[in-house]
């Protein structure tokens, strides 16, 4: 509270003047209730002196508050700060008021009898006022620290989520490279010309990965173009054993999804299912209700799965939820494995950012 008044001079002047008038008025009311012959309103001189006293007290409180802040911190010694602030502030207010009243009485009311009861009433009144000021100041300080703590917690949560998201995004590149090199190593022994074509197409595909590595979202149209190139790479390896069926609406092509979603889903289907001339694997990619991208394959699980990095579906699920709050839908029955990816409309991006 004191720091706020220090940096807002107009508020300081107005509030101090109001307090001076309020103090005198409350004392007049108290004395009028005790003494029948006492007036409810004192002279304008009394109110003027009360305002002057308020300015002296407030200036002193500002100095005292600065000193307490330098000597006693809420972070390092909260208990000591609490009790010391109460004692010093209340004592300062009461002693300052009583000393100023004594000086005023000696200068302006010399020869007038000073009643000890009156001074005791004034002392008690300002003692209670001092307690109110202290607890109000402490309450404001603790409230501000609580708000700051909440803001810090939210900031740490956001930084933690961003770190997790960046780790997920980084996972994709080596994952794709690892699988591509495995494919290339097998093609080199089978057909060197095909391996050379594979290298050229792989460089084109990997260029897309490098360009989109820092993107949070990409249009579905770009992802479909990338999927075409990736489908070509798989076609070099599996020939007629792998069949693609695509039916994506033009409206959905303007919507967004996380980068490399299709690459991971296609790779996931190929990795976990038998792909052979007797059992060709069919991967269908289509849109549903202009809201979701569906990747579906006939289910023919391998007896024993090979190496798995554990990225795939969980990576897409985590990135999608981080960006949009939407969830990946995965279903499986005896014949089909289906993944539904919610698409993000441009209007949703505008609302979020």
Q: Are 126 and 221 in a shared domain?
A: no
Report residue 123 CA to chain centroid gap.
49
Q: Could you tell me which residues come within 8 angstroms of residue 276 by beta carbon, excluding any fewer than 6 positions away? A: 241
Residues 331 and 226 in one domain: yes
Residue 42 has pLDDT above 50, yes or no: yes
On whether residue 209 sits in a domain, the answer given is yes
Q: Are residue 111 and residue 203 in the same domain, yes or no?
A: no
pLDDT at residue 311, as a whole number:
59
Instruction: Decide if 94 contacts 127 (C-beta within 8 A).
Output: yes
- For the chain, what is the mean pLDDT? 77
Is residue 173 situated within a structural domain?
no
Contact 265, 286 (CB under 8 A): no
Res 303 pLDDT > 60: yes
Q: What is the pLDDT of residues 271-301, one digit of tens each?
A: 889 998 889 999 999 999 888 999 999 999 8
Q: Quick check: 306 pLDDT over 60?
A: no
Is beta strand 256-257 parallel, antiparallel or unpaired with respect to 292-298? unpaired
Interval 101-160: pLDDT, tens? 777 777 766 555 556 666 677 777 777 777 777 788 777 778 888 888 888 777 766 655
% of residues, the chain, pLDDT over 70: 78
Place of tokens 């990997």: 206
CATH of residue 262's domain is 3.30.565.10
Rounded Cα gap, residues 122 and 280, in angstroms: 97
Is the pLDDT higher at 65 or at 175? Answer: 65
| Residue at 67 is within a domain | yes
- Is 16 inside a domain boundary? yes
Handedness of CA 327, 328, 331, 332 (dihedral sign): negative
Residue 74 in domain:
yes
The domain boundary, picked from 123, 152, 181, lies at 152
Per-residue pLDDT at 5: 56
pLDDT of res. 39: 64
Residues 112 and 202 in one domain: no
Rounded average pLDDT over 67-96: 79
Q: Looking at the predicted structure, is the pLDDT value of residue 226 above 80?
A: yes
Q: What is the mean pLDDT of residues 316-337?
A: 86
**167 in a structural domain:** no
Its domain, for residue 24, covers: 2-152
The residues, ordered by sequence, that sit 6+ positions from 215 with a Cβ below 8 Å of its Cβ are 259
Burial class (CB in 10 A: 0-12, 13-18, 19+), 61: buried
Please indicate, yes or no, if residue 79 is contained in any of the structural domains: yes
Report DSSP state, residue 239.
G
Domain boundary among 97, 127, 152: 152
CA dihedral 197, 202, 204, 206 (to 10 degrees): -170
Do 148 and 195 belong to one domain? no
Residue 87 covered by a domain: yes
> Residue 285: what pLDDT?
94
210, 345: one domain:
yes
Total domains in the chain come to 2
Same domain, 62 and 209: no
Do 133 and 200 share a domain, yes or no? Answer: no
- Tell me what pLDDT residue 282 has: 94
Closest-CA residue to 25 (of 44, 47, 58, 56)? 47
pLDDT in tens, 233-251: 788 777 788 999 999 988 8
């Amino acid at each position: 509270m004191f720091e706020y008044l220090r940096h807002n001079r107009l508020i300081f002047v107005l509030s101090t003047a109001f307090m001076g008038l309020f103090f005198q008025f409350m004392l007049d009311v108290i004395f009028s209730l005790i003494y029948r012959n006492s007036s409810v309103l004192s002279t304008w001189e009394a109110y003027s002196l009360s305002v002057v006293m308020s300015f002296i007290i407030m200036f002193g409180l500002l100095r005292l508050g600065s000193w307490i802040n330098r000597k006693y911190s809420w972070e390092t010694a909260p208990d000591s700060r609490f009790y010391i602030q109460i004692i010093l502030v209340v004592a300062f207010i009461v002693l300052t008021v009583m000393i100023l009243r004594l000086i005023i009485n000696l200068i302006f009311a010399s020869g007038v009898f000073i009643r000890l009861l009156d001074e005791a009433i004034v002392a008690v009144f300002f003692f209670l006022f001092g307690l109110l000021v202290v607890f109000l100041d402490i309450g404001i300080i603790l409230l501000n620290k609580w708000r700051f703590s909440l803001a810090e917690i939210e900031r740490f949560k956001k930084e933690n989520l961003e770190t997790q998201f960046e780790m997920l995004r980084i996972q994709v590149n080596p994952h794709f490279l690892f699988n591509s090199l495995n494919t290339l190593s097998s093609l080199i022994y089978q057909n060197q010309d095909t391996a050379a074509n594979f290298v050229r197409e792989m460089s084109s595909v990997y260029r897309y990965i490098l360009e989109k590595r820092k993107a949070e979202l990409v249009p579905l149209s770009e992802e479909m173009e990338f999927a075409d190139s990736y489908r070509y790479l798989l076609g070099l390896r599996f020939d007629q054993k792998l069949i693609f069926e695509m039916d994506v609406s033009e409206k959905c092509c303007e919507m967004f999804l996380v980068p490399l979603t299709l690459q991971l889903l296609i790779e996931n289907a190929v990795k976990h299912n038998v792909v052979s001339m007797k059992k060709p694997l069919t991967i269908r990619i289509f849109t549903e209700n202009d809201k979701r991208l569906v990747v579906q394959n006939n289910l023919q699980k391998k007896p024993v799965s090979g190496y798995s990095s554990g990225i795939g579906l969980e990576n897409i699920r985590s990135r999608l939820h981080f960006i949009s709050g939407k969830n990946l839908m995965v279903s499986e029955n005896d014949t089909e494995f289906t993944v539904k990816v919610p698409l993000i409309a441009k209007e949703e991006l505008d609302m979020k950012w």
